[in-house]
Amino acid sequence: MTMQTSTPQKVNSPKLKTYHANGPQTGDNISRQTLFWLLLTNIAVLSPLFDKTTPWTLGICAICLLWRMGIYVGKVAKPPRYLVTSLAVGAAITLALVSGEIGLLNALVNLLILGYALKYIEMRSVRDVRAVVIVGYFLIALTFIDHQSMLNTVHLMGVTIINTCVLVTLYQSKHNWQHTAWISAKLLLQSLPLALLLFLVLPRFAPLWLVPNMKEAQTGLSETLAVGDISKLTRSSALAFRVSFTDASPIQAELYWRALVLEDYDGQTWRQDTGIKQIQKDAFFFPPSRPTPARQFTPLTQQETNNPQPVYHYQVIAEPSHQSWLYGLDVAYSQDDKVVNLPDYRLYALRNVDQRMGYNASSWPKAKMDLTLSAKQRQINLKLPADSNPRTLKLATEFKAKYPEPKQRLWAMMGYFNHEPFFYTLTPPPIGRQQIDDFLFENKAGFCAHYASAFIFLARATGLPARMVTGYQGGEYNPQADYLSVYQYMAHAWAEVWLENEGWVRFDPTAMVAPNRIEQGFDAEFSPEQSYLQESPFSSLRFKTMPWLNELRQRFASLDYYWSLWVLGFNQERQNKVLSGILGDVTKTKVAVFMSVCISLIGLYIAYSVGLFRFKREQDPISAKYQRICQRLSKFGINRPAHLGPNAFAEQLIDTHQQQSPEFCREFDTLTQSYVALKYQQLADRDYQAALKRFNAAARALNWRLFGPSKQLK
């Protein structure tokens, strides 16, 4: 065995690539480890934006990814610049032409994604890598703005770590992937205190601008309703909103969540009246005023009736629907600045609900709606399409003749659905142009929209103003966090009829045909596998029939609910409450001092963690392991002189102990050779990893041999 007797020195050859203290310079070759992390980053960053990409954008991204994988395995060369430039110009022109269809903001997002993909495929230097990473951070932030659920936030934190790993490999390319991931995660953790401080202290300003239309697909109910629309929603397991009540909550049969009022019927489709649509359009600049229903119940009135009127206070967290209507129980009223109270007793958001939105509301179930009805409103809600449904008109005439008193007549109509052989189904048979006639006298099978439409038509035909109300009925209770979840499949339609001295009164003919649907919920009437689970094979709602899995599902849902409540719902009021608990009286001076102290502490910690305040320079991990083994040898009487290099010390030790401890000498020789290679030789990445693996294995073996009270080498 030949050993070096002198301490090796670092060799600086002009032919060898060197790493400077400030990292790789522009023009350096990109390491394979960096290319590997870039492959992962490209997939991780773009995958959450799949729903934003157009088909041609997705196709170009896939081509770029496949081409980069070919470059990574050495099968193809980098594309010429003119090809990349041509693709970029062509894609930009195409997006400009279709921006009117997909929306300006969607077009800009696609342009950024294309720029990211094309830069990714043509990068040639470290500077290009940095540009790709920076654009990746922009795309991550864009995804977070659009999807702020807890699960998505955790996912994006993982994507951020992967994106940061690319930067880490530019400066530490010889470490394994576990070390790279740890350094990236450590950098992210060090940034969290500053992020939390800014989240706590920065004021909650309303947006100063309106973003361009994203042209998102609307979710849930719409301002028009054909008889089959709600039955389509029953195949959706998507969450619509969640509700937590301050005190007691209503029973299942009273959970009618009002969303839309439809008054215009042309014989085929129900629509909102043009008047209320104009009020909605002008609500941002001219919010309508509607008095709170609490005015109907003064303390004196309640004492006279000796019957305190119930009131429900609750908070709603609405899921993104890209629509403006909100949800509330009758009669709902909200004092939130971002919510207006419409004249038809609905809640309406000033901006489309493009992100999760929380708001507070109160409901007075015994309050009356519109005790007086204007001539225009009466005309709107009595209008019937001309020359339609003659058989239904004849039936209405019979009801009016037999029951002249309005309320008695309405309940007789309700009883008609109970006595006749009507059937409640999600898949009703088709109906012709005379919808109501076909439903009442031919098919006698339908969904809630069929029953509500027929009831309203009958009421109007007898001279009673009536209208359609759509929303949701019911809710799934989560005992883990004490809130209700309302899903799209719970969409429902019912009727409201105006009565003298009572105002608008709710009538739900569905309750006469399928009472279990109203009293016990949707699942009591329909099989989930034939409705909302039919097109959702991976929905977590499939676990509802398995107790322990359902409990686990609700626990995860509770975590996401608390995230929405405490983080996304951290408004100005809660911010002031938290700051008051920390600072007492909140003043600008106290906030400035608090921020200065926190930022100083964070800066000191980061400075210490990077070694700025360490007067005694710490050894790198490789040297520390080697020195630790040399120190443990001293208890066996083997001391390394300070002037003796690693190879000379190993040669001396092996000559002395080869006969009595051959295994120990072999392991120490492996340790020394690996240590010298790692510290003093210019190794390629693959050779560096192999030498590091041999060094760590030899260090573990020697530590085990030198462990214990024995004074003899093993």
| H, E, C per residue of 240-287 | EEEEEECCCCCCHHHCEEEEEEECEECCCEEECCHHHHHHHHCCCCCC
Instruction: Write down the pLDDT at residue 57.
Output: 83
448 among known catalytic residues: yes
Round to whole Å and give the CA distance between 457 and 394: 12
Residue 586 contacts residue 579 (beta carbons within 8 Å): yes
Catalytic residue among 147, 175, 450, 492: 492
Element (H, E) at 146: helix 126-146
Instruction: Write down the pLDDT at residue 329.
Output: 96
Q: What share of the chain is helix, strand, coil (3-state, %, to 5)?
A: 55, 10, 35
Instruction: Write down the pLDDT at residue 613.
Output: 67
**Alpha helix positions (H), 172-237:** 177-201, 229-233
pLDDT in tens, 355-413: 888 999 999 999 999 999 999 999 999 999 988 899 999 999 999 999 999 999 999 99
Instruction: Write down the pLDDT at residue 235.
Output: 82
Catalytic residue among 61, 64, 165, 448: 448
Instruction: Write down the pLDDT at residue 347.
Output: 96
Chain centre to alpha carbon of residue 5: 63
Q: How many CB atoms lie within 10 A of CB 307?
A: 11
DSSP class of residue 468?
E
Round to whole Å and give the CA distance between 175 and 153: 28
Catalytic residue among 28, 146, 438, 508: 508
Instruction: Write down the pLDDT at residue 708.
Output: 64
Of all residues in the chain, the percent with pLDDT exceeding 70 is: 89
Instruction: Write down the pLDDT at residue 258.
Output: 96
508 among known catalytic residues: yes
What are the boundaries of each domain within the chain? Answer: 32-171, 176-202+586-617, 621-706
**Alpha helix positions (H), 527-637:** 547-563, 572-583, 588-609, 621-633
179 among known catalytic residues: no
State which residues of the chain have pLDDT below 70: 1-29, 173, 204-219, 228, 298-308, 610-611, 613-619, 708-714
Residue 674 contacts residue 694 (beta carbons within 8 Å): yes
